Amino acid sequence: MAFSGTRLSYSTTATLLSSSAALAAIPHLTTLLGAAAIKQQRWPFGTAEAAAVLAWGRKPSAVKAGQLASRLKLPLLRLEDGFLRSVGLGSQTPPLSVVLDDVGIYYDATAPSRLEQLVCRDLTAKQQQRARDLVQLWQRLALSKYNHSPDYQPATSEPYVLVVDQTFGDAAIAFGMADQAAFSQMLLTALARYPEHKLLLKIHPDVFAGKKRGYFSELDAATRARVTILAKDVHPAGLLQHAEAVFCVTSQMGFEALLWQKPVFTFGMPFYAGWGLTTDAQNAPARRSKVTLEQLVYAALVAYPRYIDPETGQCCEVEQLMQWLALQRLERNRFDRPLYLATPPRWKKAIFKRFLQGADLRFVGKGMPPASDGYQVVWGAQSGENKLRVEDGFIRSVGLGADLTQPASWVLDDVGMYYDARSPSLLENILSQHQFTDAERERSTALIDRLLTLKMTKYNIGSQSWQRPAANRVLLVPGQVESDASIRYGSPVLKTNLALLQAVRAANPTAYVVYKPHPDVQAGLRIAGQADCGAAAQYCNEVIANVDMAHLLSQVDEVHTLTSLTGFEALLRGVTVVCYGQPFYAGWGLTTDIYPLPRRQRKLLLSELVAASLILYPSYISATTGCFTTPERVLLELQQQRSAYRGLTVRRRLMRLLQRCWRF
């Protein structure tokens, strides 16, 4: 065991012992600690090769771990959750960061800790700047230790100070040199120092629910007149952002208030007190002296904790985890009203839960009228107010949706639906109104390059053996399912594949026209149109099937389509696109539009179209974590899935057969 720089490290072959089965079972703990293994001690076996014994903070179970370390003459290391832990609570999700302390533990002010030693270290200019950047990033992303709760919305603009309660008997209170009297003193001081302000008393949700006690069970009438009790489970960031000052005993919210650069008053001795950054009711231990906010932030967020990337399972820097957690918060807080969904089939219910995680999703019986206080969740394009319309995204899966292949992306639209050209959609609003930044354009360009390199399209299946014929102009006409809403609502003139082929041939009598039926029609899962029944050969040179779309687009000069997503995929590859309908990507100066949509007048760059369509509009779910993710991560996962794809499973073949029998 060695302490080099700011990180305690071991040989990669070291084994750590734990007397707690729960501690030993924490996911990714060996990666976080850099150890070969973490074993639960079963005396007298498996101890000879151990490098140290692990204990969880100063919980009662840590006493047993200390006795084990003493008996084996091994170092005792104390673990705790990091200050940026996870989305959900500790009882729901494993930690994404931990701290490891070979001296003490950060919340025990009665003895030294490794964190105290790190806070006292001088920083280089680069480390100081990183700490300042972290403060700004923390505020911009509005993070906290836990990140599952809804945002706090102040009822009025009336100024307030925040007073933070804690659960009775919390170990951080006793080890933080405080007791019940400290809470009474805190409230009285807040009332006296801010006589003109409202006091917002944040009660722990477990106290309000009756599961635990707090320290403010009773308030006298005079105090209650000035104090507003907040017992709802709300995210701390909004509370701290709008507070004039923050009063706490040992709660981590005091540290987060410093990150929001608020005045902080402490009535215990938490890890962030005693450094000259807070107003403290208690005298600090002599080992704590005045430091800068940068020193505290760098020690607490960079040097002391260890972080895991939940998508890769590898250690990462704090900034990377912050961005991931911020994405979860952004997606989970999209809807501030209940979502009502007529109970779907069991297999689809789980998908709704994944894409609507964090929202107040309520399943109701079919035919029940939707409540007026929320959104009715519906599939596809449906008119009416208070509807949240759901559809597959543009980067979907390896395999067809009709084969029950799980989607990697959905679009959730409370304005309209992207393929319904009769009225605007959320996507159309983004395309027509959003002020695209250079960073968004750069990210979009990189995403296009990644799509082309990986040869990704919506479904990512099919052969790559088809070769371009010896012709001057090769035109691709992608078939569509004629009963689909995208044709009914997005193509005002032509409504069938046959009509499209006739129009293409009439306008291009000498071109080599290739027709590709829709994959669901090829699979027998959707009803074929006239062109799919044999008439296509009269108006095209070749009908092809089971060809990978990315490969096909590399072989043709133009795509002529009604509303197919193939047109969008062609634009990414620099292929000329002619639209006979009004798909979402038409009307922005990037396509030739036979029947233009008058309300679309803005001229966009391809990178802006892609930024809106693939980054800003859809929601993505990682197959690895089950949490929200980015299109870049989905592309990586789809690449891995495609490499392992072996066609349909027995279950999906059976489902395909049942669907055919049901339809025909």
- Indicate the SS3 state at residue 236: helix
- Indicate the SS3 state at residue 364: strand
> Rounded to whole angstroms, how far apart are CA atoms 339 and 361?
5
Which residue, chain included where needed, has tokens 């291009």? 508
Q: What is the pLDDT of residue 659?
A: 45
What are the backbone angles phi and psi of residue 423, rounded to the nearest 5°?
A: -150, 160
Which residue, chain included where needed, has tokens 């559809």? 391
Instruction: Characterize the bridge pairing of strands 474-478 and 512-516.
Output: parallel
Instruction: Give how far Cα 84 sits from Cα of 27, 213, 249, 319, 434, Å.
Output: 16, 25, 20, 11, 32
pLDDT in tens, 208-255: 666 788 888 777 777 778 899 888 889 999 999 999 999 999 999 999
Contacts of 54 (CB under 8 A, 6+ apart): 16, 17, 18, 20, 23, 24, 38, 65, 77, 78, 79
Run of H or E including 377: strand 375-379
> Rounded to whole angstroms, how far apart are CA atoms 580 and 255?
59
Mean pLDDT of all residues belonging to the chain: 89
Q: What is the pLDDT of residue 520?
A: 66
pLDDT above 60 for 11: no
pLDDT above 90 for 125: yes
Percentage of residues in the chain having pLDDT higher than 90: 67
- Indicate the SS3 state at residue 476: strand
Q: Is 297 exposed, middle or buried (0-12, 13-18, 19+ CB in 10 A)?
A: buried
Q: Is 301 exposed, middle or buried (0-12, 13-18, 19+ CB in 10 A)?
A: buried
> Rounded to whole angstroms, how far apart are CA atoms 447 and 607?
9
For the residues 87-101, what does the mean pLDDT come to? 91
Contact at 8 Å (CB) between 147 and 330?
Answer: no
- Which of the two residues, 119 and 536, has the higher pLDDT score? 119
* Reported confidence tier of residue 477, pLDDT bands at 50, 70, 90: very high
pLDDT in tens, 303-330: 999 999 999 999 999 999 999 999 999 9
Instruction: Give how far Cα 283 sits from Cα of 172, 193, 205, 207, 375, Å.
Output: 17, 20, 31, 30, 54
Work out the widest C-alpha separation in the chain, in whole angstroms. 92
Instruction: Characterize the bridge pairing of strands 618-621 and 409-413.
Output: antiparallel
Contact at 8 Å (CB) between 409 and 392?
Answer: yes
> Rounded to whole angstroms, how far apart are CA atoms 187 and 308?
38
Report residue 398 as tokens. Answer: 């390896």
Report residue 171 as tokens. Answer: 């170990």
Report residue 234 as tokens. Answer: 């709300």
* Reported confidence tier of residue 465, pLDDT bands at 50, 70, 90: confident
> Rounded to whole angstroms, how far apart are CA atoms 614 and 583?
15
For the residues 427-431, what does the mean pLDDT come to? 98
Report residue 466 as tokens. Answer: 């088809």
> Rounded to whole angstroms, how far apart are CA atoms 495 and 491?
6
- Indicate the SS3 state at residue 301: helix
